[in-house]
Amino acid sequence: MATMRRIAVLTGGGDAPGMNPAIRAVVRTATAAGIEVYGIRQAYSGLLAGDFERMSNRDVSGIIQRGGTILQTARNLEFKTPQGQKRGLRRLNEHGIDGLIVIGGDGSLRGALALHTLGFPVVGVPGSIDNDIWGTNMSIGVDTALNTILDAIDKLRDTASSHERCFLLEVMGRNCGYLTLMGGILGGAEFIVIPERESTLEEIGQALEDAYMRGKSHAMGVIAEGASLNIDEVATYLESHEIGFEVRVTVLGHVVRGGRPSAFDRLLATRMGVAAVEHLLANETGIMVGLQGREIGTVTLEDATTKQRSVSLEYVNMAEFLAK
Ligand code: F6P
């Protein structure tokens, strides 16, 4: 087994708050172990372009509180092909890199698995606001995104109750309803629409009409971007069915991805960054670090990228009776 002397780190997929503290932890843990670290800019695009830069402890000063990722990120189609992956491996070898840490979502982790399958030592770190990665209770960025969603819901409620309106809020999360479900429960939404559970326009209309008749001064509906019912379709239906409340629509969009990482995300990112380097230096590779209970454990990259994580139906049931 070769001794690691030089490692590289990249952030991939959608940026997530907490990626910077993770980069900082990687650089400083490796430096403390006497290992050189290179940052690869713009994920797999930078890997293919050979955009590598030596990082010292000073390069990661003052970033623990910053959202986004100082290494930047990109979505790259070429790296999804076997030819692109081989070219990526060639670039790593050209730069004398002995091991790689990939911080990102499922697409980035699939890229990490491809490099591992080609024989290159890789450790993954789950970073995505969607919380759709198998093998970790929470990914980096989820907690901050959830707090941003709650801030928006709390603010919308102020104006909703002043006007006796129903607000519909669309929340990111790709095909995963985690952020919408948790945001809806914790923000006190009257209804929640997620990809994992079928909802009908009729049941949404009925729930809101009931809420109006029970004397609620406002209502809130949270709809996941990946749900089969689209927010405009719901708004049109509600407007034409006289549910009592006036209806307004807000799409949160990429706002959810920004902002200072929360204390939880800084701690999670720091622990995962440290653990990722420790595993890489111990030649424990082809794995992803993950939060398992209170501990940072590991799963194989194969499992992390092929097993399906789903939202707990317990929460779906809870959301229904808590909204009454
Ligand atoms: O995976 C993170 C995420 O923000 C998803 O919630 C969303 O569907 C997607 O990325 C948006 O991608 P882009 O930033 O490329 O528009």
Question: The domain that contains 283 carries what CATH number?
Answer: 3.40.50.450
Q: How many whole angstroms from its chain centre is CA 140?
A: 6
> Is residue 11 domain-shared with residue 103, that is, in the same domain?
yes
DSSP secondary structure letters along 15-37 = --TTHHHHHHHHHHHHHHTT-EE
CA of 121 to the centre of ligand 1 (A): 28
Ligand 1 near 115 CB (within 6 A): no
What CATH number does residue 180 fall under? 3.40.50.460
pLDDT at 296: 98
Ligand 1 near 289 CB (within 6 A): no
For the chain, what is the mean pLDDT?
Answer: 97
Given the CA of residue 129, which atom of ligand 1 is nearest to it?
Answer: 2
> Is residue 162 domain-shared with residue 285, that is, in the same domain?
no
Could you tell me which of 106, 156, 155, 147 has the C-alpha nearest to residue 126?
A: 106
Choice among 106, 130, 132, 143 that is catalytic? 130
> Is residue 193 domain-shared with residue 232, that is, in the same domain?
yes
Residue 161 lies in a domain: yes
Asked about 143 being catalytic, the answer comes back as: no
Q: Amino acid identity, residue 209?
A: E
Residues 113, 119, 120, 122, CA torsion sign: positive
Confidence band (pLDDT; 50, 70, 90) for 144?
very high
126: pLDDT strictly greater than 90:
yes
Query: CA 276, CA 262: separation in Å to the nearest integer?
Result: 21
Domain span including residue 252: 145-257
**Top mutation candidate among 174, 251, 255, 309 for ligand 1, by most atoms within 8 Å of CB:** 174
272: pLDDT strictly greater than 80:
yes
> Which residue's C-alpha comes closest to atom 2 of ligand 1?
14
Ligand 1 near 105 CB (within 6 A): yes
Ligand 1 near 252 CB (within 6 A): no
199: pLDDT strictly greater than 90:
yes
Both tokens of 153, joined, read 């819901």
Residue 315 lies in a domain: no
> Is residue 157 domain-shared with residue 247, that is, in the same domain?
yes
The CA angle 11-37-262, to the nearest 5 degrees, is 45
**Top mutation candidate among 75, 129, 148, 180 for ligand 1, by most atoms within 8 Å of CB:** 129
Total structural domains within the chain: 2
Residue 272 lies in a domain: yes
> Is residue 295 domain-shared with residue 158, that is, in the same domain?
no
Mean pLDDT for the stretch of residues 76-87: 97
Query: CA 48, CA 91: separation in Å to the nearest integer?
Result: 7
pLDDT at 172: 98
Among 218, 240, 257, residue at a domain's last position: 257
pLDDT at 323: 87
Q: What angle, 0 to 180 degrees and rounded to 10, lies between the N-to-C axes of helices 19-32 and 263-281?
A: 40
In what helix (H) or strand (E) does residue 103 lie, and over which residues does it extend? Answer: strand 99-104
> Is residue 135 domain-shared with residue 154, that is, in the same domain?
no
> Which residue's C-alpha comes closest to atom 7 of ligand 1?
174
Contact yes or no for 153/220 (Cβ under 8 A): yes
Residues 6+ apart with CB under 8 A from 198: 228
Confidence band (pLDDT; 50, 70, 90) for 313?
confident
> Is residue 12 domain-shared with residue 132, that is, in the same domain?
yes
> Is residue 37 domain-shared with residue 98, that is, in the same domain?
yes
Residues 135, 278, 266, 66, CA torsion sign: negative
